[in-house]
């Protein structure tokens, strides 16, 4: 199998069947691993864009196919999904899309059906496009929550943003900032003092000064928790401030804490992810104390000044980068995570000094993983109070609710693309 579209169809089929992330599926796909860099990028482009447009594409197929395509022809359905996305939304010649799809479907004796259907869609392209709604790409478990908690206007903005190719954010090491003209070297623009936005060409390790360890990949949203922590302790010698980062790999926030000179310990449950953390630390020439343990079993003799919980979550804030999230269903996805986040918050209070802070964050914009978690924690724990994030840094995002910050894709004050993210700070007062 050498055809890129055939490989893309197999990968899309696996993603739909297993609800795995693209990155996980390609690791197991031998045909993908044999492709050259350009073809790999093309497969990625096809699959991720089809997922970004999942609702619109399925609507068109359902409108044009009178009898539903049965499960045993799931591969053909995914071939159609990819083809319809290309015809309607990607800048690719129609004849090449239709001809290749017909060739592939010959093996399954579906060529006539595929040919007729795709040509019909090509003929009606203009009318189809006028009647499609971007919001159908977002599943209702995310959509309903956005409407209820962030409003319809935000939903419109998010829907528009997530169908575009995401940009790449590069965090430059503070000590390396003066070393180069980074905008020129990395072909991007600074969106704040140390984060640069550039196009994502997928060739991260080949970019200048990667091996020298002058920068790492980190979205501007996820740099905020450590910026907030720095403000909380701005008048104290930071090397005396003990911080436990919970869920530390692959390491973006640990690196920031190290370069700010905090006394940091990095706790992570996954050995596989710790290997990545260690590789990154080596490349960046940073050191930290790593604890490989389930946080819920963690014991310590000395209490911390701050616990940063970067909790596992549905990653609903990353819909643009990881559009696989858009086809997941809520029950499977979110229930266990909410339970785990709750337990992590509860555990943190037992290892925190009086006067210390819990900084809780998730790359989710779903209220059940963000503001609802904090509200329920505060109801039970009267010895904690919320620190108003707005008072610390006010120029980053728009959605402050009772001192908590939710950043959503498409809505960001810095005129930059930002991942969806939630941050809240709690202070132990007694
Ligand atoms: C959102 S990611 C962390 C990203 C990381 N802080 C960074 O900035 O690069 C959440 C991490 O929590 C880890 N994790 C999940 N459950 C955990 C637990 N019970 N104890 C410790 N770490 C856990 C996951 O393995 C995952 O690496």
Strands (E), 289-371: 289-292, 304-310, 352-362
Kindly state whether residues 411 and 266 are assigned to the same domain. yes
Query: Is the model's pLDDT at 2 over the cut of 60?
Result: no
Alpha helical stretches, state H, 94-193 = 94-106, 111-123, 125-130, 140-149, 152-161, 182-185
Element (H, E) at 425: strand 421-428
**Which of 74, 107, 132 corresponds to the end of one domain?**
132
Output the DSSP codes for 70-110.
PGGGHHHHHHHHHHHHHHHHS---HHHHHHHHHHHHHTTT-
Kindly state whether residues 184 and 95 are assigned to the same domain. no
Dihedral of CA atoms 286, 289, 293, 294 in degrees, nearest 10, equals -80
**Which of 109, 132, 155 corresponds to the end of one domain?**
132
Lookup: tokens for 55: 């609702």
Choose the residue to mutate in 221, 249, 296 for probing ligand 1, maximizing ligand atoms within 8 Å of C-beta: 249
Q: Is residue 156 part of a domain?
A: no
Which atom of ligand 1 sits closest to the CA of residue 311? 10
pLDDT, one tens digit per residue, over 134-182 is: 999 999 999 999 999 989 999 999 999 999 999 999 999 999 999 999 9
**Which of 176, 191, 217 corresponds to the end of one domain?**
217
Kindly state whether residues 414 and 355 are assigned to the same domain. yes
Kindly state whether residues 181 and 63 are assigned to the same domain. no
Report the largest interatomic distance among the alpha carbons of the chain, rounded to a whole angstrom.
73
219 CB-contact burial (10 Å; exposed 0-12 / middle 13-18 / buried 19+)? buried
What is the tally of structural domains in the chain? Answer: 3
Lookup: tokens for 305: 């000044």
Element (H, E) at 55: helix 54-64
Kindly state whether residues 419 and 276 are assigned to the same domain. yes
Q: Is residue 163 part of a domain?
A: no
pLDDT, one tens digit per residue, over 301-318 is: 999 999 999 999 999 999
User: Average of pLDDT values for 318-343?
Assistant: 89
Distance, CA 152 to ligand 1 centroid (Å)?
32
Query: Is the model's pLDDT at 378 over the cut of 60?
Result: yes
The pair phi, psi for residue 159, each rounded to 5°, is: -60, -40
For the chain, helix (H) and strand (E) counts, in that order, are 18, 13
Which atom of ligand 1 sits closest to the CA of residue 270? 25
User: Average of pLDDT values for 391-413?
Assistant: 71
Choose the residue to mutate in 247, 270, 277 for probing ligand 1, maximizing ligand atoms within 8 Å of C-beta: 247
Kindly state whether residues 199 and 278 are assigned to the same domain. no
CA dist 308 and 248 (Å) reads 9
> Rounded to two decimals, what is the model's pTM?
0.93
Distance, CA 252 to ligand 1 centroid (Å)?
12
Residues spanned by the domain of 306: 220-428
Kindly state whether residues 228 and 212 are assigned to the same domain. no
CA dist 51 and 335 (Å) reads 23
pLDDT band at 40 (very low <50, low <70, confident <90, very high): very high
Distance, CA 276 to ligand 1 centroid (Å)?
12
What pLDDT is attached to residue 413?
Answer: 67
Query: What's 12's domain CATH number?
Result: 1.10.940.10
What pLDDT is attached to residue 164?
Answer: 92
Which atom of ligand 1 sits closest to the CA of residue 248? 6
Query: Is the model's pLDDT at 398 over the cut of 90?
Result: no
Distance, CA 310 to ligand 1 centroid (Å)?
6
Residue identifier of the C-alpha nearest atom 13 of ligand 1? 247
Which atom of ligand 1 sits closest to the CA of residue 344? 19
Query: Is the model's pLDDT at 391 over the cut of 90?
Result: no
Q: Is residue 78 part of a domain?
A: yes
Lowest-confidence segment of 57-61, 324-328, 378-382, 383-387 by average pLDDT: 324-328
Kindly state whether residues 228 and 201 are assigned to the same domain. no
What pLDDT is attached to residue 197?
Answer: 94
Distance, CA 69 to ligand 1 centroid (Å)?
39
Residue 408: partners with Cβ closer than 8 Å, 6 or more residues away: 146, 150, 154, 157, 158, 317, 365, 399, 420
pLDDT, one tens digit per residue, over 108-142 is: 899 999 999 999 999 999 999 999 999 999 999 99
What pLDDT is attached to residue 289?
Answer: 97
Dihedral of CA atoms 181, 182, 183, 186 in degrees, nearest 10, equals 130
Residue 233: partners with Cβ closer than 8 Å, 6 or more residues away: 241, 262, 305, 306
Query: What's 252's domain CATH number?
Result: 3.40.50.150
Rg (CA), the chain: 23
Which atom of ligand 1 sits closest to the CA of residue 294? 20
CA dist 163 and 155 (Å) reads 13
CA dist 213 and 209 (Å) reads 6
What pLDDT is attached to residue 210?
Answer: 97
Output the DSSP codes for 356-369.
EEEEEEES---TTT
Kindly state whether residues 332 and 290 are assigned to the same domain. yes
Kindly state whether residues 332 and 321 are assigned to the same domain. yes
pLDDT, one tens digit per residue, over 220-262 is: 999 999 999 999 999 999 999 999 999 999 999 999 999 999 9
* Cα 176 from chain centre: 26
Output the DSSP codes for 256-279.
HHHHTT-EEEEEES-HHHHHHHHH
Looking only at the bridges linking them, the beta strands covering 399-401 and 215-217 are unpaired
CA dist 408 and 405 (Å) reads 10
Lowest-confidence segment of 66-75, 184-193, 279-288 by average pLDDT: 66-75
Kindly state whether residues 412 and 291 are assigned to the same domain. yes
Whole-angstrom CA distances from 169 to 8, 166, 181, 190, 221 are 26, 10, 16, 9, 10
Which atom of ligand 1 sits closest to the CA of residue 245? 6
What pLDDT is attached to residue 1?
Answer: 44
Kindly state whether residues 278 and 316 are assigned to the same domain. yes
pLDDT, one tens digit per residue, over 262-287 is: 999 999 999 999 999 999 999 999 99
What pLDDT is attached to residue 399?
Answer: 57
What pLDDT is attached to residue 397?
Answer: 52
Lowest-confidence segment of 25-29, 53-57, 112-116, 398-402 by average pLDDT: 398-402
Q: Residue 138, by phi and psi: left (phi above 0), alpha (psi -120 to 50) or beta?
A: beta
User: Average of pLDDT values for 12-16?
Assistant: 96
User: How high does pLDDT run on average in the chain?
Assistant: 93
CA dist 89 and 85 (Å) reads 6
Query: Residues with beta carbon inside 6 Å of ligand 1?
Result: 222, 246-253, 267-270, 273, 294-296, 310, 312
Distance, CA 302 to ligand 1 centroid (Å)?
22
pLDDT band at 403 (very low <50, low <70, confident <90, very high): confident
């Amino acid at each position: 199998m050498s055809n890129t579209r055939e490989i893309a169809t197999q990968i899309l089929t696996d993603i739909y069947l297993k609800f795995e992330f693209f990155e996980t599926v390609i690791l197991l796909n031998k045909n993908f691993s044999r492709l050259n860099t350009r073809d790999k990028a093309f497969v990625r482009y096809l699959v991720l864009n089809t997922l970004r447009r999942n609702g619109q594409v399925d609507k068109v197929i359902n409108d044009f196919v009178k009898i539903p395509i049965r499960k045993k022809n799931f591969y053909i359905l995914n071939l159609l999904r990819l083809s319809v996305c290309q015809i309607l939304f990607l800048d690719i010649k129609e004849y090449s899309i239709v001809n290749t799809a017909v060739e592939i479907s010959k093996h399954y004796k579906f060529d006539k059906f595929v040919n007729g259907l795709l040509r019909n869609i090509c003929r009606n392209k203009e009318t189809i496009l006028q009647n499609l709604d971007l919001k159908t790409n977002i599943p209702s478990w995310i959509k309903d929550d956005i409407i209820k908690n962030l409003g319809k206007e935000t939903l419109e903005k998010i829907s528009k943003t997530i169908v575009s190719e995401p940009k790449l954010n590069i965090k430059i090491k503070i000590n390396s900032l003066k070393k180069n003209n980074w905008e020129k070297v990395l072909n991007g623009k600074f969106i704040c003092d140390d984060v640069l936005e550039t196009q994502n060409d997928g060739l991260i390790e080949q970019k200048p000064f990667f091996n020298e360890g002058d920068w790492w990949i980190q979205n501007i949203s996820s740099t905020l928790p450590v910026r907030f922590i720095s403000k909380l302790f701005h008048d104290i010698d930071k090397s005396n401030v003990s911080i436990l980062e919970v869920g530390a790999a692959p390491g973006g926030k640990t690196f920031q804490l190290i370069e700010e000179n905090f006394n940091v310990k990095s706790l992570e449950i996954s050995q596989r992810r710790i290997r990545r953390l260690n590789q990154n630390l080596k490349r960046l020439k940073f050191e930290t104390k790593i604890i490989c343990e389930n946080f819920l079993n963690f014991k310590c003799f000395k209490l911390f000044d701050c616990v940063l919980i970067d909790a596992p979550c549905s990653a609903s804030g990353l819909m643009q980068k990881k559009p696989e999230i858009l086809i997941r269903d809520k029950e499977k996805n979110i229930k266990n995570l909410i339970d785990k986040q709750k337990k992590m918050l509860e555990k943190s209070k037992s290892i925190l000094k009086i006067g210390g802070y819990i900084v809780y964050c998730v790359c989710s914009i779903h209220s059940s993983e963000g503001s609802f978690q904090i509200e329920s924690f505060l109801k039970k724990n009267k010895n904690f109070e919320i620190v108003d994030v707005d008072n610390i840094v006010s120029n980053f995002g728009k959605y402050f609710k009772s001192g908590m910050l939710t950043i959503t894709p498409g809505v960001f004050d810095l005129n930059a693309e930002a991942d969806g993210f939630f941050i809240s700070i709690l202070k132990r007062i007694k």
